[in-house]
Chain A
Amino acid sequence: MCFLFQKSYTVLKEEDILHRQEDDVTRVSTVLSITRVAASILLRHYNWSISKVHDAWFADEDAVRKSVGLLDKQVVQLSNARELTCGICFDTFPCDKIISAACGHPFCNTCWSGYISTTINDGPGCLMLRCPDPSCQAAVGQDMINLLAPGGDKDKYSRYLLRSYIEDNRKTKWCPAPGCEYAIDFAAGSGSFDVSCLCSHNFCWNCVEEAHRPVDCGTVTKWILKNSAESENMNWILANSKPCPKCKRPIEKNQGCMHMTCTPPCKFEFCWLCLGAWSDHGERTGGFYACNRYEAAKQEGAYDESERRREMAKNSLERYTHYYERWASNQSSRQKALADLHQMQTVHLEKLSDIHCTPESQLKFITEAWLQIVECRRVLKWTYAYGFYVHEHEQAKRQFFEYLQGEAESGLERLHQCAEKELQQFIAADGPSKEFDEFRTKLAGLTSVTKNYFENLVRALENGLADVDSHGACSKTTSSKNAVVSKGKGSKGKGGKIGGSSKNGDD
């Protein structure tokens, strides 16, 4: 979406698909001098690849005709009899009531209709329909379907034919978003697999999971598998247990007071609420049933649960929890941002436009900011899957990565904050205000800066942070508010590229 690669794909609506399919059929039909129905049967057989059809046909037409079932003469010589027996119901009919595929095997109208209907309702196999005679290979094409199938089944058949055009073709896929009916035509050999459908769903062409740059498809598969295997456990453990502050084993508190004693050999005594040592508790901290330390700390907001968690992310389960929680919270944050964006587009923009006497076209910077937030949340989310798999022993890389991730996190927070909180006052305002222009400049600036930072981050991670060798640890710049935009400070060494300005020539 916000990447500057040349678009290597086309989004196809249903009418585009039909149009292309028609064109392909026409082309084959013209080149091979066969009917459109025959051309359609051939194309389906060769997965809608015109070149494969041509190659096979001109190499050995007879063999192709035989295997596809396009007979060039009847196998059954029709007698001159006035009446014929249907091969299915065994009744006799006048010749004009008997229908045959190219082979000439005689079946009556009703039996054909039943046969075709049964096959269509059995699924997409109906696209390869053959004459009912078990020894006969003659193909039955759409002309006969349209002539003989009941109305609803005709539609089903057309549906299958359309689906086949997308699903059997190597260069096209359906957009995987629920309810989306668009398809994507992808030109192989281009750099990025990211595809953005008209329905606004972004996904990876290669693995059809949601878009996951900068992480590669393999990592995503591993991560998703891990989540599905462990998330149930994880959710339960997170919701119902706390780790012992000393030995880190998860503890489920199912009864009793706040005074906990871990099972031997640990036997650590601690307070369930604040996870501090019980020896620090007593009358002065509120006794056995409440914990003032906890209440006070909570009120001050100093109770840093996440810091504690980070400390505890030591054994593998906790390490995974650490990344999973952050992955999942960016995910939900992104969902929320999508909803906010929608709300913005449907309600607030119009309101803002009224209050500040500005045409909606000039409020595009707000939509752009939100789109950027959505995209950044997505990238940030996947950096946690990336982080989980960065090699433990690549110390320098890990440090550098975590630094970049932290900067990304705080940069995005500022943008999100600005788009969410600071905008509120303008929505609530009674009339135009001077500050609105300042706000515009600020939000647009933050959007572009964050966009640049994330683009560079993605590129660097896709390179596997190749610039960092395992010894050249990068000195940490103190995290200032400007760090994200800072012009690659020399001291950051190889990291300079990331924090670099937008003039780094990345387009």
Chain B
Amino acid sequence: MANSNLPRRIIKETQRLLSEPAPGISASPSEDNMRYFNVMILGPTQSPYEGLGSWRSPSTSSCGVVETGGVFKLELFLPEEYPMAAPKVRFLTKIYHPNIDKLGRICLDILKDKWSPALQIRTVLLSIQALLSAPNPDDPLSENIAKHWKTKEAEAVETAKEWTRLYASGA
């Protein structure tokens, strides 16, 4: 099985992710492939991706996910070259965000040319969480959403909230 010769680094990272998760983030490896992680990120407060107070959060999610969140599912895969090459990350939950396209692909420098082997799964996920707090319509992946964001920000934020309610309920 491929998992048997998993590098020490990946094992250590996984252990730490499980034992001391970052606030609002959970990541656990798949049972049949230790390089594939199921990730959940809680929409940051004060952002259009935060869950609305009126709902109860899913009790299924075990660690790190707190009561108030819009819950976004992602998948993360560590390629063979990891950590020399960046992990591959993608949103599974639909999200209205100028730097994330409809396939869930993310425009983030550290996932591309700014990747460094000293970065980790944890730092990547924290950066994605930060991207939710601070969308950057000047460097868009989704032209339409970015345009919307730049011309009618209030309206775009409303759409993002609507999508969060529709798709990120965690159900």
State the A residues within 8 Å of B (CB).
Answer: 87-91, 105, 107, 111, 114-115, 118, 132-134
A89 touches B8 (CB 8 A): yes
A89 touches B116 (CB 8 A): no
A-B contact count (CB 8 A): 37
B12 touches A134 (CB 8 A): no
Known contacts: A118-B81, A118-B85. The answer to whether A134 contacts B7 by CB under 8 A is no
A132 touches B118 (CB 8 A): yes
User: Looking at the complex, which one of B8, B84, B116 makes contact with A91 (CB distance below 8 Å)?
Assistant: B8
User: Looking at the complex, which one of B85, B110, B118 makes contact with A133 (CB distance below 8 Å)?
Assistant: B118
Q: Can you list 5 residue pairs at the A/B interface with Cβ under 8 Å? A: A89-B8, A89-B83, A90-B8, A105-B118, A134-B119
A132 touches B116 (CB 8 A): yes
Task: Bits for B133-154, please: 1 = Cβ < 8 Å to A, else 0.
Answer: 0000000000000000000000
Distance (Å) between the CB of B122 and the closest chain A CB? Answer: 12
Known contacts A89-B7, A90-B12; 10 further A-B pairs (Cβ under 8 A): A88-B117, A90-B9, A114-B84, A114-B117, A115-B84, A118-B84, A132-B118, A133-B118, A134-B110, A134-B114
State the B residues within 8 Å of A (CB).
Answer: 7-9, 12-13, 81, 83-85, 110, 114, 116-119, 123
Residues on the A chain within 8 Å of B13, using CB: 90
Of all chain B residues, which has the CB nearest A134?
B116
Distance (Å) between the CB of A420 and the closest chain B CB? Answer: 57
Distance (Å) between the CB of A91 and the closest chain B CB? Answer: 6
User: Looking at the complex, which one of B84, B85, B118 makes contact with A134 (CB distance below 8 Å)?
Assistant: B118
Known contacts: A115-B84, A118-B81, A134-B110. The answer to whether A87 contacts B118 by CB under 8 A is yes
> Whole-angstrom distance between the alpha carbons of A197 and B62 in the complex?
71
Residues on the B chain within 8 Å of A134, using CB: 110, 114, 116, 118-119, 123
> Whole-angstrom distance between the alpha carbons of A379 and B124 in the complex?
61
Known contacts: A88-B83, A118-B85. The answer to whether A111 contacts B117 by CB under 8 A is yes
> Whole-angstrom distance between the alpha carbons of A447 and B135 in the complex?
72
Of all chain A residues, which has the CB nearest B13?
A90
Distance (Å) between the CB of B112 and the closest chain A CB? Answer: 11
Q: Which 5 interchain pairs have the tightest Cβ spacing?
A: A132-B118, A118-B84, A88-B117, A90-B12, A89-B9
> Whole-angstrom distance between the alpha carbons of A43 and B62 in the complex?
55
Residues on the A chain within 8 Å of B85, using CB: 118
Of all chain B residues, which has the CB nearest A136?
B118
Residues on the A chain within 8 Å of B114, using CB: 134
Interface core residue of A111, A133, A134 (most chain B CB under 10 Å) = A134
> Whole-angstrom distance between the alpha carbons of A346 and B14 in the complex?
70
> Whole-angstrom distance between the alpha carbons of A268 and B11 in the complex?
86
Residues on the B chain within 8 Å of A111, using CB: 117
Residues on the B chain within 8 Å of A87, using CB: 118
Distance (Å) between the CB of B7 and the closest chain A CB? Answer: 7
> Whole-angstrom distance between the alpha carbons of A76 and B18 in the complex?
29
> Whole-angstrom distance between the alpha carbons of A107 and B118 in the complex?
9
Residues on the B chain within 8 Å of A115, using CB: 84, 117
> Whole-angstrom distance between the alpha carbons of A89 and B12 in the complex?
9
Residues on the A chain within 8 Å of B9, using CB: 88-91
Distance (Å) between the CB of A419 and the closest chain B CB? Answer: 57
Interface core residue of A87, A90, A105 (most chain B CB under 10 Å) = A90
Known contacts: A115-B84, A118-B81. The answer to whether A132 contacts B117 by CB under 8 A is yes
Distance (Å) between the CB of B113 and the closest chain A CB? Answer: 8
A88 touches B8 (CB 8 A): no
Residues on the B chain within 8 Å of A133, using CB: 116, 118
> Whole-angstrom distance between the alpha carbons of A88 and B120 in the complex?
9
Interface core residue of A89, A105, A114 (most chain B CB under 10 Å) = A89
Of all chain A residues, which has the CB nearest B110?
A134
> Whole-angstrom distance between the alpha carbons of A240 and B12 in the complex?
72
Of all chain B residues, which has the CB nearest A88?
B117
Distance (Å) between the CB of B78 and the closest chain A CB? Answer: 13
> Whole-angstrom distance between the alpha carbons of A111 and B83 in the complex?
9
Residues on the A chain within 8 Å of B123, using CB: 134
> Whole-angstrom distance between the alpha carbons of A87 and B120 in the complex?
10
> Whole-angstrom distance between the alpha carbons of A167 and B117 in the complex?
29
Of all chain A residues, which has the CB nearest B114?
A134
